[in-house]
Amino acid sequence: MPKKIPVRKAMVYLIFFILMIKQLYSYAGMGYTLIENSTYGFQQLPRIGGVTIALDYLALALLITLFLVEYPKIIRKLTELGMTALLVMTGAVVCWAFITLIRYGAKTVLYSETTPEVYLTILAVVVGVDDKLYGSFSRIALRMGVFSLAASLISYLLFLSKHPSGLMGNTAALILYVQGFWLVVIGSIDYFKKRKKRAFICFLMTICMVLALLFNARSYVIQSLIWTLVFPYITTQKGKRGRFRGVWAAVVIGGLAFAFVANFEPHLFETFMEKTDRDTRSFQYIELFSQTNLKDFLIGQGYAFQYYSPTMGGFYSYIDNGYLFLMMRYGISICLPYVLLLVMGIYNSLFYNKERLIRGYSFVLIMWMCALGGLSVYTMLVFDIKCLAIAVVIGRCLAIHREKRKKSEKGAKTDARP
């Protein structure tokens, strides 16, 4: 008899591969333009059209289908609070999507990357709560991370060939780098679980550090150092020596990365060092809070909310804080359940699990919460690979509590037998 096709596993692969193809297609052949009010900073706008929209919604349709098929399993594996938060967030997304459709039309809903339906990324928790589906994800996570970093480096070299003295802003190289970083961090846990080796991950963290310095992304220099410290700790058994070797690894990797950039790209190194003492966030908070009140953040002002920014020279809709960005548009109805799911995932991973390596997921989510909170630039909750991967990790952590409860109940029944 012919083997059955693992349809659910294939759907997991397809979702991530479709989004990768869409991402590469979006930036292929796109030129660079000077950032407004800058003489050396460049941005690269992605291609948006029928193909990219079709790929996005195909991936979204597959994710929704997978969620509905696996819904009975999700109910059994998540706690009541976790399931409630997930359903509340999903319901709020649907309501806001309907409101946005009525107010601004189908074109806005289809073409924008920040309309409410993109927050259905949270449905990817379904991949994390099921062992077989998560196995499919874990096989490709690190590979896609390495591919993203390689594509980022190639894109950066192409940028340098056209603008040798330029500084990159929002470009394909940076977008791919951020994606690659998170996939490498997540994938490193399962990589060590299978291979019991750290050297390759340390090498990848060195690459991440070098690229962050080249891209003038100080937040990801910090994030790379954090994971370099954390990874040896979670991969060393309790009581054994070497749990704090991450300190030495961070010193060595950081030193190598800084030395490499200082010698081969001194002007970028100088730019990075100048930026370390510069405050690039506070003005956004001052300008936003001076024009809003608590009610605006609780209820939300809708998709088209803007505030006047004298620093940026006009009305502005962006802020380098994912929580405030969500709240000033859609209130707490989407933001609060998402934060609750993150906190529950962290708590479960830390306190309902004895395996040190699995606790690494909590550090991933803590780093993600910091990134969304303004630590990292160009890190928002959107419908893309990195946000789906984070949702998978949330699902993995949320299932821990219920699994432990089942084991406890089984043990109690066994002890009760005569």
DSSP states of 156-206: HHHHHHH-TT-EE-S-HHHHHHHHHHHHHHHHHHHHHHHH---HHHHHHHH
| CA gap 253, 275 in Å, rounded | 21
* H-assigned helices in 78-130: 80-104, 106-111, 125-129
Give the per-residue pLDDT at 279: 67
| CA gap 264, 210 in Å, rounded | 11
List, in sequence order, every residue forming a beta bridge with 33; answer none if it has no partner.
Answer: 43
pLDDT tens track for 38-54: 666 788 888 888 899 99
**What is the 8-class DSSP label of residue 299?**
H
What is the phi/psi pair of residue 316, to 5°?
Answer: -140, 145
CB atoms within 10 A of CB 350: 17
| CA gap 23, 84 in Å, rounded | 32
- CB within 8 Å of 322: residues ≥ 6 apart: 371, 372, 373, 374, 379, 380, 381
Which residue in this structure is represented by tokens 């002002």? 301
Using DSSP's 3-state secondary structure scheme, residue 293 falls into: coil
Low-confidence ranges of the chain (pLDDT < 50): 1-2, 408-409, 411-416, 418
- CB within 8 Å of 266: residues ≥ 6 apart: none
Q: What's the half-sphere exposure (Cβ side, CA atoms, 13 Å) at 377? A: 16
pLDDT tens track for 401-414: 665 555 544 544 44
Closest CA to 189 of 356, 399, 77, 342: 356
CB atoms within 10 A of CB 413: 9
What is the phi/psi pair of residue 216, to 5°?
Answer: 60, 35
Give the per-residue pLDDT at 3: 53
SS (H, E, C) 225-288: HHHHHHHHHHCCCCCCCCCCHHHHHHHHHHHHHHHHHHHHCHHHHHHHHHHCCCCCCHHHHHHH
| CA gap 363, 371 in Å, rounded | 12
Give the per-residue pLDDT at 265: 74
Using DSSP's 3-state secondary structure scheme, residue 32 falls into: coil
Give the per-residue pLDDT at 241: 59
Can you give the C-alpha Rg of the chain in angstroms?
A: 22
Please calculate the CA angle 300-317-268 and round it to the nearest 5 degrees.
135
Give the per-residue pLDDT at 412: 43
pTM equals 0.90
At 133, list the tokens.
């589906």
| CA gap 403, 78 in Å, rounded | 9
